[in-house]
A and B are shown apart, each in its own frame.
Chain A
């Protein structure tokens, strides 16, 4: 598969108080094609920082550096901030966990989608308004005209997240980075939001990076999975083979998970081997 995004030797560091650096991401390499790639890990594994680093959204004093971040033939690291803004939203979009904090509370959702669309495409008002309704319908909102006029506090969490997806997919990006897009939602709503995301990604031939702590969700929803631990990639596999993962960390994560199909007296406690954090990062190119 030709890759849409190719990341070589990415490192994200933060200065420590009193000198020295903390490495949140430590030299990882991976690529993403027009496929669904899951990045899983526990808190502090560096998975979210990886997503932010691609879009150059690591806030100072944090610093991201890579040998190469190549997106569709463009070297993202060498772009000016102005050119980078042309990439963000338009060619690579990002959906975050909680729509409550990502939407503007004092603007109707329809206006927000239209504004974002016009900003990215430079289209006329009328076209943006039509696109807004089309996108709201695409995320299976029954009455797009009515919902477009609502304010963020008037919509439920599941609907808020669908609105975010509508907004992020309106400019037809090539790559979507979704960071825990359904973690704040109920399970039944989670399913429908993921199904919508899945259909849009497939229909448009987009690439998707799904960042999540939820092994079950990633196994069910992605084509390929990257498992991160302590800032490094410890293992990568096709999603269907996650249950047969070979790295002891991945196996320990799976064993710690309560499962409906497998009753257990006790859950397996994880014994962390310092060698997991020290071992070199696994290459996760497709």
Chain B
């Protein structure tokens, strides 16, 4: 009998607190979630719900967390090794802030390859630029010479350089216009199909999450209040009144 495949991301009893003494604040409180290989999992909630903190803890960007995080079946420690970053990469919300302003696209994309000792740097950069829909003409440009959508394409290309299996996406389109958002979401769907990627997507935008994800966890005040499928979300089949409120507020006249 074949062994069942380990989930791409397993989070159990994750707790993150900031500050100390009376000012101590629990940002993430006993959160557990399972992201299966090849699926898109959405994490939704309002500001301060802890959704981005969960993502940052998984990515190793936060030092003080408790609980268990396993990526592709391997428990991760407080410090992440190189092998970890070949499994998992992150795309941030603000393409204006996440790219080094004085590095060309070429340098941004080649840096992870050099750090990890990859060969065929030239060919890999050319291939990835083609995959994210930017031609070779963009290779020696600086971020300020790119539009918001083009920058987010570069940020996605950077995340893909090490050929990871998993992408953590933190509000990847919320700084973009709706027509550019559509292009980036389509690009993410294409890349997922092409490379069998697993996505963990954080967003406050329920229609975006319903479009991209199979399963969704709703967070509030550091806790997961409920998990439901995208279909249940579209049909407003939510068990918790908070989720119902969020859904009602997200439905405009056009929905």
B7 interfacial by beta-carbon distance below 8 Å? no
Cα separation A189 to B230 with both chains bound (whole Å): 23
Interface-lining segment among B23-31, B71-79, B96-104, B203-211: B203-211
A260 and B251 form a contact (CB under 8 A): yes
A219: which of B46, B210, B252 is its contact (CB, 8 Å)?
Answer: B252
Total A-B residue contacts, Cβ distance less than 8 Å = 99
Q: Chain B contact residues: over half helix, strand or loop, or mixed?
A: helix
A240: which of B205, B206, B253 is its contact (CB, 8 Å)?
Answer: B253
Q: Which A residues lie within 8 Å of B246 (CB)?
A: 187-188
A239 and B234 form a contact (CB under 8 A): no
B37: min CB distance to chain A, Å: 21
A196 interfacial by beta-carbon distance below 8 Å? no
* Contacting residues of chain A (253-274) with chain B, CB-CB under 8 angstroms: 253-254, 256-264, 266-270
B255 interfacial by beta-carbon distance below 8 Å? yes
B8 interfacial by beta-carbon distance below 8 Å? no
Interface-lining segment among B107-115, B119-127, B156-164, B177-185: B177-185
A157 and B210 form a contact (CB under 8 A): no
Cα separation A45 to B186 with both chains bound (whole Å): 24
* Contacting residues of chain A (193-249) with chain B, CB-CB under 8 angstroms: 213-217, 219-220, 239-240, 242-243
Given contacts A157-B47, A186-B46, A260-B250, A43 and B177 within 8 Å (CB-CB): yes
A263 and B249 form a contact (CB under 8 A): no
Cα separation A5 to B177 with both chains bound (whole Å): 29
B189 interfacial by beta-carbon distance below 8 Å? yes
Q: Which A residues lie within 8 Å of B253 (CB)?
A: 216, 219-220, 239-240, 242-243
B252 and A220 form a contact (CB under 8 A): yes
A259: min CB distance to chain B, Å: 5
The number of chain A residues touching the other chain, given as a range, is 35 or more
A190 and B249 form a contact (CB under 8 A): yes
Q: Which B residues lie within 8 Å of A189 (CB)?
A: 46
**What is the interface size of chain B, counting residues whose CB is below 8 A from a CB of the partner?**
32
A215 and B178 form a contact (CB under 8 A): yes
Given contacts A256-B179, A257-B178, A267-B211, A187 and B47 within 8 Å (CB-CB): no
A59 interfacial by beta-carbon distance below 8 Å? no
A187: which of B189, B210, B250 is its contact (CB, 8 Å)?
Answer: B250
B207 and A257 form a contact (CB under 8 A): yes
Cα separation A117 to B30 with both chains bound (whole Å): 48
A42 interfacial by beta-carbon distance below 8 Å? yes
B130 interfacial by beta-carbon distance below 8 Å? no
Cα separation A190 to B177 with both chains bound (whole Å): 19
A191 interfacial by beta-carbon distance below 8 Å? yes
B75: min CB distance to chain A, Å: 34
Cα separation A243 to B186 with both chains bound (whole Å): 22
* Contacting residues of chain B (197-255) with chain A, CB-CB under 8 angstroms: 204-208, 210-211, 230, 233-234, 245-247, 249-255
A256: which of B178, B205, B250 is its contact (CB, 8 Å)?
Answer: B178
Render B115-159 as a binary contact track against A, CB cut-off 8 A, 1 for contact: 000000000000000000000000000000000100000000000
Specify the chain A residue showing the minimal Cβ separation from B173: A258
B210 and A243 form a contact (CB under 8 A): no
Q: Which B residues lie within 8 Å of A240 (CB)?
A: 253
Q: Which A residues lie within 8 Å of B250 (CB)?
A: 187, 260
A252 interfacial by beta-carbon distance below 8 Å? yes
Q: Which B residues lie within 8 Å of A256 (CB)?
A: 178-179, 181-182
A185: min CB distance to chain B, Å: 9
Given contacts A190-B249, A243-B254, A269-B186, A263 and B179 within 8 Å (CB-CB): no
B252 and A252 form a contact (CB under 8 A): no
Specify the chain A residue showing the minimal Cβ separation from B230: A263
Specify the chain B residue showing the minimal Cβ separation from A186: B46
Given known contacts A214-B252, A263-B230, what 9 new A-B pairs fall within 8 Å (CB)? Answer: A43-B148, A43-B177, A187-B206, A188-B46, A215-B254, A220-B253, A260-B247, A263-B211, A270-B182
What 5 A-B pairs come out closest when comparing CB atoms?
Answer: A216-B252, A256-B182, A267-B182, A186-B46, A258-B211
14 A-B pairs whose Cβ atoms sit less than 8 Å apart in the complex: A43-B148, A187-B250, A188-B245, A219-B254, A220-B253, A257-B178, A258-B211, A260-B206, A260-B250, A260-B255, A263-B234, A264-B211, A266-B189, A269-B186
